[in-house]
Amino acid sequence: MTNQPYGGGYGYGAQEPPLTPYQQPQSQPQAWPGQRYDDPYADQQHTQQWQGQTWETQMQPPVAAAEETSYLPPQDVAPVRVPEPAPAAGAEPEPEYGPATLAGNTRVTDAQRARAEGRSPVIEPGMQPALLTAVLGLLLAGGAALGTYALLVPLVVLQGVTAAGWFRLNGMWPARQGIALGFLGALVADAAMLAADRSPGVILGALGVWVLLSLALQLRSHADPDERIYGLMATVVAAALAIAAGGYLAADADAVVVGAVAVAAATVARALPVATAVLVVVALAAAAGAGYAVGGMASDGALMGAGAAVCALIGHRAASYDYPSRFVHFTAGVALPLAAAGPVVYALGRVFG
């Protein structure tokens, strides 16, 4: 027999071997056979946790500090600007577009860009359209001096350019039906005046008929209500300006000569590279002087020339509105100064005639 207890173990007085790194100590003592052992910590087994260092904790990498894992603040780095290629010679520049919207990209017009940059959206036609206006005015004056049918040729040209220029000035292009309708109204008014011995009442009758006709055509349109109203106003005004230019046909020949020459002088003077306020005075003085010279050195000619010049300057200003295109300058910029002066030439001719 040995001194070891039942079930194996070491005898009394023997020393137990030391624990290895991979051996954990027993959590409760061993009991003799037949002996009941009550564990005083049995009710705490579910809450007791091992606080020592285990294999898993030794193999885990060290946790980085919070400063190392936090996001870096945005750095103020200047963006790198890539130079855009210079367009090839003769190539048309690509159109620029505005920001994205729910309805799609909208083109930024030149007028909107000018307003955003603090510039005026008004650009005057310049000297070339002014010279064309002067040539057309001189043709009207020469035609009136020669006779009624000689006056009719430049007048028809003026009426057609007026209708086309007004539609393009309002941003409606192509608008062949509206241009044709306005021009047709002018032709009908001219024919009616010739048939009625150049009676000015025909102009008012033609205006009334063409307003009703334009309204009827727009009511048949399938466009949006706003677009129909805009198209109606553009058509009515274009027809009214083209028909009103027929005032040269209803006026006396002397009044047409004075008024057309005065408009030509005022338009050229207005295109000079001088300040606007000064140019207005210079244009009125040039028109009055031209009327005085052509009208037989009489004060009536000077007053008639100044009155025609006022209407010409209004038409010139209308053709310069809202950053117009080059096509507008060579249509509305040429025709509106003469077309706006047509009714005044007739009225002043009756007053001073």
Please, what are the averages of pLDDT over each run of 10 residues along the chain (353 residues)? 47 49 50 52 51 50 51 53 57 50 54 74 87 95 92 95 88 74 92 88 88 83 78 88 92 93 94 87 94 86 93 92 81 94 92 80
Q: What is the pTM of this model?
A: 0.66
Which residue, 46, 41, 48, 35, is CA-closest to 6?
35
Task: Check residue 79 and give its pLDDT.
Answer: 55
Residue the block writes with tokens 């809450």 = 47
Cβ neighbour number for residue 178 with a 10 Å cutoff: 26
The Cα–Cα gap between 61 and 77 comes to 35
Task: Check residue 325 and give its pLDDT.
Answer: 78
The Cα–Cα gap between 311 and 241 comes to 12
What is the H or E stretch that residue 335 is in?
helix 332-352
For residue 176, give Cα distances in angstroms to 184, 265, 323: 12, 33, 23
Whether residue 103 lies inside any domain: the answer is: no
Cβ neighbour number for residue 191 with a 10 Å cutoff: 13
Whether residue 297 lies inside any domain: the answer is: yes
Task: Check residue 220 and give its pLDDT.
Answer: 79
Q: Which two tokens stand for residue 221?
A: 């349109």
Task: Check residue 13 and give its pLDDT.
Answer: 47
Whether residue 257 lies inside any domain: the answer is: yes
Whether residue 240 lies inside any domain: the answer is: yes
* First-residue to last-residue Cα distance in the chain: 161
The Cα–Cα gap between 308 and 256 comes to 10
- Domain span at residue 290? 127-352
Number of structural domains, the chain? 1
Which residue, 209, 233, 231, 210, is CA-closest to 220?
231
**Amino acid sitting at position 158:** L
Backbone angles phi, psi at 50, to 5 degrees: -85, 120
Is residue 318 within 8 Å of 169, Cβ to Cβ? yes
DSSP assignment of 246-290, as one string?
THHHHS-HHHHHHHHHHHHHHHHHHTSSS-HHHHHHHHHHHHHHH
Query: Kindly report the CA angle at 323 between 322 and 329, in degrees rounded to 5?
Result: 105
Task: Check residue 43 and give its pLDDT.
Answer: 53
Whether residue 322 lies inside any domain: the answer is: yes
Whether residue 3 lies inside any domain: the answer is: no
322: left (phi over 0), alpha (psi -120 to 50) or beta: left
Whether residue 109 lies inside any domain: the answer is: no
The Cα–Cα gap between 237 and 162 comes to 10
Whether residue 216 lies inside any domain: the answer is: yes
